[in-house]
Structure 1
Amino acid sequence: MPRIIKHPELRREELLDHAQALFLTHGYDRASLNDVIAAAGVSKGAFYHYFASKEALLEALAERFARQALAGVQKILDDPNLDPLGRLNALMATSRQAKIETAPEAWALFETLFRPENLVLFHRINLAASKSFSPVLVQIIRQGLDDGTFRTFDPEGVADIVMQFGTATYDIIAKAFAGGSDADMEIAIETLEKRVRLYEIALDRILGLPDGSIRIGEPGYVRAVMTARRDNPAETAAAPKRAGRD
């Protein structure tokens, strides 16, 4: 049969599609690069032309998720009827809803990142998200400065702080996963709920706003995201093997 030649970007996206499907079905740890290569129907040489390692593949998936998430909020960014505070809160509300809706699938991919050996990879993936969203946040903050909504001397610094919130909760989530019990999860949920409230107050103060102006969370948000991992079929299927290894 004649060889089918595809555009490099199309081939790369197909490899990511196959990897995502396998990671979601079997979990990141249980799906090998050979599985991805076989599913994609390419040679190892062709695969390594696009991705140097399994970690690079996961990082590329994270970057794609970030681009897709950014596309999902473009309507908010372009809405002329939103003032800067309304735009910032709408952005966070959309992000919350997306995390709730995609939490079971997201945990199948990213639960492995909360293991100690993957701390560097976790930070690399957070960097990908920051590269996509920080410029958007800076733009909103600058608009708020221009019209007097916000008061701050460092818009880029505020954007960095927002993007670091996820990194700051790493230890809380990792500890809950390592413990593995319902009690550990309840402690993590309670701690994260308080932390979200603290971040809201901090952002209000940093931006010169009255308390209660910024809404990062909402009632039940943290619990919905965290318990989605426990109820995830891929997580449940993988649990006996992990227990055996431990």
Structure 2
Amino acid sequence: MPRVIKHPELRREELLDHAQALFLTQGYDKASLNDVIAAAGISKGAFYHYFASKDALLVALAERFARQALAGVQDILDDPDLDPLSRLNGLLAQSRRAKIETAPEAWALFETLFRPENLVLFHRINLAASASFSPLLVKIIRQGIEDGTFRTFDPEGVADIVMQFGMATHDIIAKAFAGGTDADMDVAIEALETRVRLYEIALDRILGLPDGSIRIGEPGYVRAVMTARRRTSAGTALSPAPAR
């Protein structure tokens, strides 16, 4: 059989596809690099041409998820009829919808990141998300400052605060995982709902808006995302099909 030559970017995407499928079906910890290499039908040398390690593979998956999420909000970013506040709330609303829709897959892939030994990797993945979304937030905030919607003085700082909200909830979720019971998860859900309300108020104040202007969450949002882990752990079927 003649050797099949593929474009490097196509080969890289195929490796990510195989890794995603294995991580979803076997779990990140149980799926080895050898499993990924075997599924892709390439040599170890070829694999290491694209990814330096298993951690690098997971970070690349996170970056791909970020790009997909970015594509999902492009219509909001491009809508000329939205004012800055509506655009910001629209961006947050789309993020909520995406998290609810992909929650089972996200838990299957990222639950391992909330273990203490993976805190550094968790930071790296958050950096990937921040690199994609911070420039969009900065642009929206600057537009709001220019037209008088927002009253703040550091768009980059505000965007950084928004992106850090996810990092600030790490300990709450990690403790829920460590406990492992439904009661532990219910405590975490209540704590996260309280924290989201606090973040909304904080962001309103930072942007010089009346309380209730920014909606990071909505009724039932935190519970819908967090209980997806229960359904996954109980054996909910997951589709290993690569997301595009």
TM-score, with structure 2 as normaliser? 0.95
Measured against aligned partners, the alpha-carbon deviations of 1:76-97 in whole angstroms (never above 9, x if no partner) come to 0000010000000000000000
Offset of 1:210 from its aligned partner? 0.2
Any stretches of 5+ residues in structure 1 without a counterpart? 238-246
Deviations 1:176-199 (A, max 9, x none): 000001111111000000000000
Give the structure 1 partner of residue 241 of structure 2.
none
2:67 paired residue number:
67
Once the 2 structures are TM-superposed, how far is the Cα of residue 236 of structure 1 from its aligned partner? Answer: 7.6
The corresponding residue for 1:26 is 26
Distance 1:22 1:172 in 2: 28
Identity of aligned residues (%): 88
Is the CA contact 1:204–1:211 (under 8 Å) kept in the aligned structure 2?
A: yes
Q: Residues of 2 paired with 1:234 and 1:36: CA distance?
A: 25
3-state SS of paired residue (1:171): helix
- The answer on whether the counterparts of 1:27 and 1:235 sit within 8 Å (CA) in structure 2 is no
- TM-score (norm: length of structure 1): 0.95
**How far apart are the structure 1 equivalents of 2:106 and 2:163?**
18
Paired residue for 2:129? 129
Distance 1:160 1:70 in 2: 17
Question: What secondary structure does 1:231 align onto?
Answer: helix
Runs of 4+ in 1 over 4 A off after TM superposition: 233-237
The number of residues matched between the two structures is: 237
Residue 55 of structure 2: aligned partner = 55
Give the aligned partner of residue 241 of structure 1.
none
Which sections of structure 2, spanning at least 5 residues, go unmatched?
Answer: 238-244
Distance 1:192 1:39 in 2: 38
Supply the distance in 1 between the matched residues of 2:109 and 2:53 (Cα, whole angstroms): 16
Where does residue 168 of structure 2 map in the other structure?
168
CA distance in 1, matches of 2:58, 2:69: 16
Partner amino acid, structure 2, of 1:163: M
Q: Give the match for residue 4 of structure 2.
A: 4
Give RMSD over aligned pairs.
Answer: 1.2
Contact kept, 8 Å, 1:29 with 1:112, in 2: the verdict is: yes
CA distance in 2, matches of 1:102, 1:201: 27
